[in-house]
Amino acid sequence: MPELPEVETIARSLRNPAGLPFDNSGSLQTRPGIVGRVVSSVELLWSRSLVTPTIEELGSALTGKPVTTVGRRGKFLVIAFEDYWMFIHLRMSGDLQVCPASTTFGKHDRLRIHLTDGFILLFSDPRKFGRVWLVRDPGEVLSGLGPEPLSDDFTPGWLHQELVHRRRQLKPLLLDQHFIAGLGNIYTDEALHRAKLHPLTISSSINAAQADLLWQAIRSTLQEGIRRNGASIDWVYRGGDFQNHFSVYGRQGETCPACGAEIQRILVGQRGTHFCPTCQKIRYNKPR
DNA sequence: CACGAGACCTGTTCGC
DNA sequence: TGCGAACAGGTCTCGT
């Protein structure tokens, strides 16, 4: 489910003392933030959800400790304590929310962190792909991640150099978290459409102007996703709105909003890939 | 180095 | 209605 904008939305809601008022649907209560709240106990319901340390060590490390800050790095949620960093990756189907302590167990609950003033931080995950780490050194989990696409480290010049430096198809390259941290299947397809680049274009063929367009497309797509509180599709609903503004993702057979041509769906590296065959043509600028 | 296939998982939707 | 297949927002590992 979650890519950068969805994780950012969750991080903001956990940071906001009043909870984030997602939208006007009425189906979501505002959820209180967790910064400053103190851990009273932890429960692990699916052992593989916790990578490190053991659940006993997790409990003794955190009991009595307040949450100091909440953030995000790539698709990782970051929950900081005095001497420890907790990282949570939601993978395909994970979710993180704050519930009243009286909330009964859900079928998909994986980790419950009880807080002293009547709330539980609940990690749930139907598909069990999500993972939680508690470490003293953040590099243990985050080393190897590419730059944050919304940070100042990420520039058109850097992007062009890195694209030309490799010889890979754009779609799998943009999905590679070592290259850029945070893009997933939805936002990659949407960004490539905005940049008018075919997903199978070889990265080394991109010129500076195209790299500049791609840079802008990545930034604007992610920013719009965040502004709309992320995208929610299928049975996992979290209040985001971006799913109603997709240009290509999941729209195979429908018309391109830019040109009216029929959106195509192909498989690239086992991932469904959506694009407009008219707007996004492969051009070889540097054929070899 | 780059790519494809398989693994890890459960739930929903689609096609016959 | 039933049932198997296909598909799902992610990432890792292995073989070529």
When pLDDT is averaged across residues A131-140 and rounded to a whole number, the result is: 98
d(CA A86, CA A209): 40
When pLDDT is averaged across residues A144-171 and rounded to a whole number, the result is: 97
Among candidate residues A46, A45, A35, A43, the one with its CA nearest the CA of residue A59? A43
List of A residues 31-50 with CB within 7 A of strand C: none
d(CA A75, CA A8): 8
**In which band, very low, low, confident or very high, does the pLDDT at A30 lie, cut at 50, 70 and 90?**
low
Residue A11 in this model has a pLDDT that exceeds 80: yes
When pLDDT is averaged across residues A21-29 and rounded to a whole number, the result is: 42
Query: Nearest nucleotide to A93 by CA–C1' distance?
Result: C9
When pLDDT is averaged across residues A110-133 and rounded to a whole number, the result is: 97
Please list the residues that pair with A202 across neighbouring strands. A169
pLDDT in the model for residue A215: 98
d(CA A192, CA A198): 7
pLDDT in the model for residue A237: 62
Mean pLDDT of chain A: 93
Q: How many CB atoms lie within 10 A of CB A61?
A: 19
Nucleotide B10: closest residue by CA–C1': A127
- Residue A277: asked if its preceding bond is cis (omega within 30°), the reply is no
Q: Look up tokens 């990545």; give the residue.
A: A218
When pLDDT is averaged across residues A11-31 and rounded to a whole number, the result is: 62
d(CA A119, CA A103): 9
Residue A47 in this model has a pLDDT that exceeds 60: yes
Show the tokens assigned to A135: 């470490």
Per DSSP, A71 falls in state E
**Phi/psi of residue A255, nearest 5 degrees:** -95, 145
pLDDT in the model for residue A172: 97
pLDDT in the model for residue A285: 52
A126 touches strand B (CB under 7 A): yes
Look at residue A279 and give its three-state secondary structure. coil
Residue A23 in this model has a pLDDT that exceeds 60: no
Cα separations in angstroms, A61 against A40, A85, A219: 11, 11, 38
Give the CB-side neighbour count of residue A84, counting CA atoms within 13 A: 19
CA A1 – C1' C12 distance (Å)?
18
Catalytic residue list contains A75: yes
pLDDT in the model for residue A239: 79
Q: Which of A72, A73, A75, A112 is catalytic?
A: A75
Nucleotide B13: closest residue by CA–C1': A234
Please list the residues that pair with A265 across neighbouring strands. A274
A62: burial class by Cβ within 10 Å (0-12, 13-18, 19+)? buried
Strand B footprint nucleotides (protein C-beta < 7 Å)? 1-13
d(CA A243, CA A79): 27
CA A92 – C1' B12 distance (Å)?
14
**In which band, very low, low, confident or very high, does the pLDDT at A18 lie, cut at 50, 70 and 90?**
low
Catalytic residue list contains A168: no
A287's CB contacts (< 8 A; 6+ apart) are A205
pLDDT in the model for residue A1: 67
**In which band, very low, low, confident or very high, does the pLDDT at A236 lie, cut at 50, 70 and 90?**
low
When pLDDT is averaged across residues A251-258 and rounded to a whole number, the result is: 96
**In which band, very low, low, confident or very high, does the pLDDT at A22 lie, cut at 50, 70 and 90?**
very low
Please state the pTM of the whole predicted model. Answer: 0.95
d(CA A78, CA A11): 8
Contact indicator for A15, A196 with CB cutoff of 8 Å: no
